[in-house]
Chains A and B, each alone.
Chain A
Amino acid sequence: MAKTIVQEFTKGLWDEIPPFRLVLGLCPTLAVTKSVENGIGMGVAFTFVLLCSNILVSALRKVIPPKVRIACFIIIIATFVTVVELLMQAYTYKLFLQLGIFIPLIVVNCIVLGRAEAFASKKGIAASFADAMGMGIGFTLALTALAAFREILGAGTFTLGNIAGWILSLVGIGTLDLWSSPLQVFGPSFQPFQFMIEAPGAFVCLGLMLCIMNLFKK
């Protein structure tokens, strides 16, 4: 049963939302979701890489010899990851410092390689584009949700950051200054639940999220 382009796009948002339904790409999901800003930044970088690699793999799918396809995919992915790394260093340096090693690690993220292998190398460019957009946005949403949960409980703040803040201020909601600085959610007397920010908290939050997702699914 062939899916339409729209279905290829929307499946990444819920049915196959990467960290929760596919349970793939957990390393950055757990590690960078300490603040909403990091979550969104990671999601955007990831979406860019996935989009570019999916389109290129799909365009070259008839040229790439099957025996060396993984090597070809990795070259393509690694190239775009390095591009993202350089661009982030040049334009969003603070975010680059916070995400650190997890930007280069997108190379070995199994969602990107998985989409190239399982989807883009078999389907047309339009479908691959829709698939990458859906998966990328789904990944970003998942990271943002997880990060919001952890940051609000763990630090009592909500930091949307420069990228999303810039978009929102363009639309006319709030100003860039408002969104790029941490918003106090609970007021000054809030005692942060530090556990949520630390690594074990990430696992607990992810587990709770999976649980909620499964409840909805039933």
Chain B
Amino acid sequence: MREMIKMVVVLTVLSAFSGGLLAAIKNGTQDQIENQQLKFVKGPAITAIFEGASNDPLADRFKLKADGREISFFVGTFDGRANAVAFESFGKGYGGELGVMVGVNLTDDKIVGVGITTHSETPGVGSRAKSEPGFAAQFKGQSIKQAFKVKLDGGQVDAVSGATFTSRGVSAALSDAGKVYQDLKPQLADKIKSFTK
């Protein structure tokens, strides 16, 4: 019996100590981890989308709630006016979740640029959606207020050859982004004013 109690006590104390330590370290590194993810995962896509912007889109950001999740919006300033936002949307690719960063101009609701952030697609097939600039470039200048579909499904999107699933995922993410954008547009327009300097 004594042995039994000792076992329970040792395991409990050990687990509690471990939990405490991990919680403390997680708290301590949270901001730093978020910064690193911004820099290495979302950063390249955002910088590419807002090429030529006069501000630092990674620094000028705010958060809004939509569909029960918090979305980060990055602000792009062109010609001295903050008039574009970029945010991440997700779709289902061939190998799992697919993150798509999409930049939208608030003045005319048109897409400024699209970039893939995270994906687990097949290297050399689905991954070309990220590495081939032509695929993402076709969305530039299109209205965000439409449903995106690949040509095979009767839509307008040129799929990456051999990667229909991936292209569908990107299209779904964009359609979804369009919905979020239209829902939040009044708030976005309001928030973004404070970024014009």
Q: Which positions in A face B, CB cutoff 8 Å?
A: 63-65, 67-68, 71-72, 75-76, 78-79, 82-83, 86-87, 89-91, 93-94, 97
Given A68-B11, A71-B11; A86-B21 close (CB under 8 Å): no
Nearest CB in chain A to that of B37: its residue: A93
Rounded to whole Å, the gap between the CB of B34 and the closest CB of chain A is: 9
Q: List 6 A-B contacts (CB under 8 A).
A: A63-B10, A75-B14, A75-B15, A76-B14, A86-B22, A93-B39
Q: What's the tally of chain B residues with a CB closer than 8 Å to chain A?
A: 19
Given A75-B15, A93-B39; A68-B10 close (CB under 8 Å): yes
Q: Is B185 an interface residue (CB 8 A)?
A: no
Contact status B18-A79, CB under 8 Å: yes
Q: Is B132 an interface residue (CB 8 A)?
A: no
Contacting A90 at CB < 8 Å: which of B3, B10, B15, B33? Answer: B33
Nearest CB in chain A to that of B31: its residue: A90
A90 to B37, CA, bound (A): 9
Contact status B32-A91, CB under 8 Å: yes
Q: Is B7 an interface residue (CB 8 A)?
A: yes
Contacts of B39 in A (CB 8 A): 93
Nearest CB in chain B to that of A67: its residue: B7
Rounded to whole Å, the gap between the CB of B155 and the closest CB of chain A is: 33
Given A83-B21, A86-B25, A86-B33; A93-B14 close (CB under 8 Å): no
Contacting B29 at CB < 8 Å: which of A63, A67, A75, A90? Answer: A90
Rounded to whole Å, the gap between the CB of A60 and the closest CB of chain B is: 8
Contact status A89-B40, CB under 8 Å: no
Contacts of B14 in A (CB 8 A): 72, 75-76
Contact status A89-B29, CB under 8 Å: yes
Contacts of B36 in A (CB 8 A): 89-91, 93
Contact status A89-B33, CB under 8 Å: yes
Q: Is B26 an interface residue (CB 8 A)?
A: yes
Known pairs A75-B14, A82-B22, A89-B33 / 13 extra A-B pairs, C-beta < 8 Å: A63-B10, A68-B7, A68-B11, A75-B18, A76-B14, A79-B18, A83-B21, A86-B22, A86-B33, A89-B36, A90-B32, A93-B33, A93-B39
